Amino acid sequence: MNLKKFAAFSMAATLCITLFSGCSKDGAGSGGSASVEYTAVSTQADALMELKAGTADVAVIDYTMAKTMVGEGTDYEELTIVDGIELAVEEYGIAFRNGSNLVSAVNEAYEELLEDGTLAAIAEKYDLTYSLITDPVPSEESGTSDEDDLAYVKEKGTLIIGITEYAPMNYYDESGKLVGFDTEFAEAVCEKLGVTPEFVVIDWNTKVVELASKNIDCIWNGMTILDDLKENLDFSAAYMRNKQVLVVKDGFDISIVAEAGSAGENSVKDLMAE
């Protein structure tokens, strides 16, 4: 869904939307009495903090994160997901250097982990069964490379994995141990490859540079597969479905009205369906 369209259906006031800087966003017009102010933040956790602090009215984040991080029993129990509105539907993949033969090796391990039930068990543990892709479409290296990344990784014995702290994908539990769906998925794949996973927290804004410079061997952190990124990266087969959702404070209701049978009603139906 286009954020400009959402703004048009919002209340006649200034709506402040906070987005993780990795999200795509559309500008909104300033006509009439409704307007939208965007604040781009470095992480999705920052977006939730802005919302909790009252410096934003709406946060746009991944559903996988929102489902884990907001609501009763969380640090953000006063926040809630807006039902019925989805901003974008997307898929997660693991990113590698262009032409990397690690893509096919990881895809093969992924399929084996699906077949033996390992991945389903990890997904259930983190309440992500609903999102797990169980019929992956094989991916192929889109670029070309003279380097053998698989041999390079096996020779040094480690797969350096770029992440950010992002529950339920990669995060530290109360004991200080790194856990999460992507963490355990990566560990299982590395076991099949015969290497040790090494997780490194990176600046998400420089992830492509980190990968190209071989500071890391892959990006494995709930990363959305985007066509424009394929110019510089190769992706594994998609392993999880996600969507962008609106998070608001409890009691912040969004009410939409339109004339029955009108173009406006059709637009509202389109909005709620996306």
* Per-residue pLDDT tens digits for 125-168: 999 999 999 999 877 555 566 789 999 999 999 999 999 998 99
Find, among 206, 225, 265, 248, the residue nearest to 58 by Cα.
Answer: 248
Q: Considering its fold, how many domains does the chain have in total?
A: 2
- For residues 55 and 42, state if they share a domain: yes
- For residues 196 and 181, state if they share a domain: yes
Domain that holds residue 25: 3-89+244-273
Residue with the bigger pLDDT between 27 and 228: it is 228
- For residues 137 and 226, state if they share a domain: yes
265: pLDDT strictly greater than 90: no
Are the beta carbons of 59 and 21 closer than 8 angstroms? no
Place of tokens 């068990």: 121
Residue 39's CATH number: 3.40.190
- For residues 250 and 224, state if they share a domain: no
- For residues 233 and 264, state if they share a domain: no
Cα–Cα distance, 25 to 40 (Å, whole number): 10
- For residues 257 and 214, state if they share a domain: no
Residue 194's CATH number: 3.40.190.10
Query: DSSP states of the chain as a string?
Result: --HHHHHHTS-SSEEEEEEETTS--------TT-EEEEEEESSHHHHHHHHHHTS-SEEEEEHHHHHHHBSTTSTBTTEEEEEEEEEEEEEEEEEEETT-THHHHHHHHHHHHHHTTHHHHHHHHTT-TTTB-SSPPP----S--SS-HHHHHHHHTEEEEEE--BTTTBEE-TTS-EESHHHHHHHHHHHHHT-EEEEEE--GGGHHHHHHTTS-SEEEEEEE--GGGGGTEEE----EEEEEEEEEETT--------TTSHHHHHHHHHHH-
Burial 237-263 (b: 16+ CB within 10 A, else e): bbbbbbbbbbbbbeeeebebeeeeeee
- For residues 20 and 155, state if they share a domain: no
What residue type is 170 in one-letter code? N
- For residues 85 and 96, state if they share a domain: no
Q: Could you read off the pLDDT of 93-119 as tens digits, one per residue?
A: 999 999 999 999 999 999 999 999 999
**pLDDT score of 268:** 66
- For residues 111 and 234, state if they share a domain: yes
Residue with the bigger pLDDT between 199 and 270: it is 199
Are the beta carbons of 157 and 111 closer than 8 angstroms? no
Question: Residue 59: is it exposed, middle or buried by C-beta count within 10 angstroms (0-12/13-18/19+)?
Answer: buried
- For residues 171 and 72, state if they share a domain: no
**pLDDT score of 258:** 66
Q: Given pLDDT bands bounded at 50, 70 and 90, which one contains residue 9?
A: very low
- For residues 102 and 237, state if they share a domain: yes
- For residues 183 and 160, state if they share a domain: yes
